[in-house]
C-alpha cells in the first residue's frame, strides 16, 4: 500500500486564540520561527506524502499564499543575498502539491475530512491535525504508513493521558497488544467521561485510513459536541469488519491548539534548538531568580501584614 495523499483539516475558527485569530489563521501562528502548519507538512514530506489537501474556511487565504512563490519578496531577498530566509518553505513549494478545499460550514472534524472525498478517491489517506506537532527521530506518519501497509489496516496514533483528561480526546479500547507500542483496537469513543473511558490511550492527530472512511462519514449520525466526528466514523469502519490499529507515538507531542500549549511548544523547541537554547536558558534562569526575589518579597509582606 502506498500513501501519497494527506488531508490537513484547517477550517476551524480558532476561537481559543481570539482575538488574534480574527484575521490570522491559528495554523499560521508561529512556533519558534515558522508557522505551526509547516511542522506537519514537513513531517508529511519526510513520510513520502506528495499531495496535501488542505480543508480551509473563511479567513484562511494566508495558508495558500504561504505555500506559494512570492516573486517580489524573492527578488528583494536575492538582491541582498538573503534567499536562505525562505529556504524551508521554498523546499516545500518545490517538493509538494497543495490542493485547497473550502469547508463551507465548520461542522466538525469528520465533516472537514468528508469534504476531501473527491480528491482522495480510492486510496488510503494520511490525516494530519495541525494542532498536534509531533517531533521525534522517525516521523510519526512514516511509522503509521509502515504499519498500515504491513497489516493492511487503518492506524491511529495514540498517547497515554491522565484519566481526568480523557474527555478532551478520542479514547481507544484495546483488543490485543502486539508490542509495547502496537495495539489492535476494539472500540473508539469520542470525548468520553473519565468513568466511561475504555483506557487512557488517547488519539492524537495522525491517522492512516482506508478510503471507506468517506462512506462511513456519510453513514454515521452527528456525535459529541453536535459535530460530525471522525472517531465515530472510524468506529463505524471497525464495526463493518475493518481492522484498526493504534500506534503509541515515540517522541514528543505539542498541542499548539491552545495559547498555553503554543507557549509551551515555543519554549520547549527553543530549549532543544542550538540556535536559541543558550539564550533562552539564560533568560529562564534570570526569570527564575526574579521570581524567587518576588516570592520572598510577597512572603515578607504577608508576614508583616499579619504581624500588624
**Using rule CB under 6 A, residue 128 touches ligand G1P:** no
> Taking contact as CB under 6 A, which single stretch among the options 47-55, 59-67, 178-186, 228-236 is the one that binds ligand G1P?
228-236
- Is 245 within 8 Å of 153 (Cβ atoms)? yes
Q: How far is the CB of 268 from ligand G1P (least distance, A)?
A: 17
Pairing verdict, β 201-209 and 125-128: antiparallel
DSSP string, 272-288: H-TTTHHHHHHHHHHHH
CA distances from 180 to 72, 136, 153, 280, 288 (A): 52, 17, 18, 35, 38
Please work out the total of residues on this chain that contact ligand G1P, with binding judged by CB under 6 A. 14
Give residue for cell 487565504: 61
Closest among 57, 98, 107 to 230, alpha carbons compared: 107
Measured from the CB of residue 191, what is the shortest distance to ligand G1P in angstroms? 7
Binding of ligand G1P by 202 (CB under 6 A) = yes
Q: Which residue is nearest to ligand G1P (CB)?
A: 170
Closer Cβ to ligand G1P, 163 or 298, answer by number: 163
Q: Is 109 in the site for ligand G1P (CB under 6 A)?
A: yes
Whichever of 63 and 202 has its CB closer to ligand G1P, that residue is: 202
Q: Which of 248, 247, 212 is nearest to 233 (CA)?
A: 212
Cell of 274: 542550538
Nearer Cβ to ligand G1P (92/114): 114
Sign of CA dihedral 292, 294, 295, 301: positive
CB of 125 to ligand G1P, least distance (A): 16
Which cell numbers hold the place of 194? 473519565
- SS3 (DSSP) at 257: coil
**What CA–CA distance (Å, rounded) separates 251 from 160?**
13
In the bound state with ligand G1P, the residue whose beta carbon lies nearer, of 14 and 139, is: 14
- The verdict on 14 binding ligand G1P (CB under 6 A) reads no
Cβ proximity of 14 and 25 under 8 Å:
yes
**Interface with ligand G1P, residue 262, by CB under 6 A:** no
132 contacts ligand G1P (rule: CB under 6 A):
yes
Taking the least distance from each CB to ligand G1P, the nearer of 11 and 170 is 170
Cβ pair 185, 173 in contact under 8 A: yes
| Per-position x/- string for 264-303, each x denoting binding to ligand G1P as judged by CB under 6 A, each - no binding | ----------------------------------------
User: In whole angstroms, how close is the CB of 257 to ligand G1P at the nearest point?
Assistant: 6
Q: Is 170 in the site for ligand G1P (CB under 6 A)?
A: yes
Nearer to ligand G1P, 68 or 218 (CB): 218
The reply to whether 204 sits near ligand G1P by the rule CB under 6 A is yes
Binding flag, residue 205, ligand G1P (CB under 6 A): yes
Task: Kindly list the distances between the CA atom of residue 208 and the CA atoms of 78, 240, 243, in Å, as whole numbers in the listed order.
Answer: 40, 17, 12
Contacts with ligand G1P, residue ranges (CB under 6 A): 109, 129, 131-132, 169-170, 190, 202-205, 229-231
Amino acid at each position: 500500500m502506498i500513501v501519497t495523499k494527506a488531508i490537513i483539516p484547517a477550517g476551524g475558527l480558532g476561537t481559543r486564540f481570539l482575538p488574534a485569530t480574527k484575521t490570522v489563521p491559528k495554523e499560521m501562528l508561529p512556533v519558534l520561527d515558522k508557522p505551526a502548519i509547516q511542522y506537519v507538512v514537513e513531517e508529511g514530506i519526510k513520510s513520502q506524502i506528495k499531495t496535501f489537501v488542505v480543508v480551509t474556511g473563511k479567513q484562511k487565504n494566508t495558508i495558500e499564499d504561504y505555500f506559494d512563490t512570492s516573486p517580489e519578496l524573492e527578488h528583494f531577498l536575492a538582491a541582498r543575498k538573503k534567499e536562505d530566509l525562505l529556504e524551508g518553505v521554498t523546499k516545500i513549494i518545490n517538493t509538494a502539491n497543495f490542493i485547497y478545499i473550502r469547508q463551507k460550514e465548520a461542522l466538525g472534524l469528520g465533516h472537514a475530512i468528508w469534504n476531501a472525498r473527491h480528491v482522495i478517491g480510492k486510496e488510503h489517506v494520511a490525516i494530519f491535525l495541525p494542532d498536534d506537532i509531533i517531533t521525534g527521530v522517525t516521523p510519526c506518519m512514516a511509522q503509521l504508513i509502515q504499519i498500515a501497509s504491513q497489516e493492511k489496516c487503518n492506524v491511529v496514533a495514540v498517547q497515554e493521558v491522565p484519566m481526568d483528561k480523557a474527555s478532551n480526546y478520542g479514547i481507544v479500547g484495546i483488543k490485543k497488544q502486539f508490542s509495547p507500542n502496537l495495539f489492535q483496537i476494539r472500540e473508539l469513543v469520542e470525548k468520553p467521561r473519565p468513568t466511561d473511558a475504555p483506557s487512557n490511550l488517547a488519539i492524537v492527530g495522525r491517522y492512516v485510513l482506508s478510503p471507506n472512511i468517506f462512506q462511513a462519514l456519510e453513514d454515521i449520525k452527528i456525535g459529541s459536541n453536535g459535530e460530525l466526528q471522525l472517531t465515530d466514523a472510524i468506529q463505524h469502519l471497525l464495526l463493518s469488519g475493518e481492522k484498526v490499529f493504534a500506534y503509541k507515538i515515540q517522541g514528543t507531542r505539542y498541542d499548539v491548539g491552545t495559547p498555553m500549549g503554543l507557549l509551551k511548544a515555543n519554549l520547549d523547541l527553543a530549549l532543544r534548538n542550538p540556535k536559541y537554547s543558550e539564550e533562552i536558558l539564560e533568560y529562564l534562569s534570570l526569570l527564575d531568580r526574579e521570581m524567587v526575589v518576588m516570592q520572598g518579597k510577597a512572603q515578607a509582606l504577608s508576614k508583616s501584614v499579619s504581624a500588624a
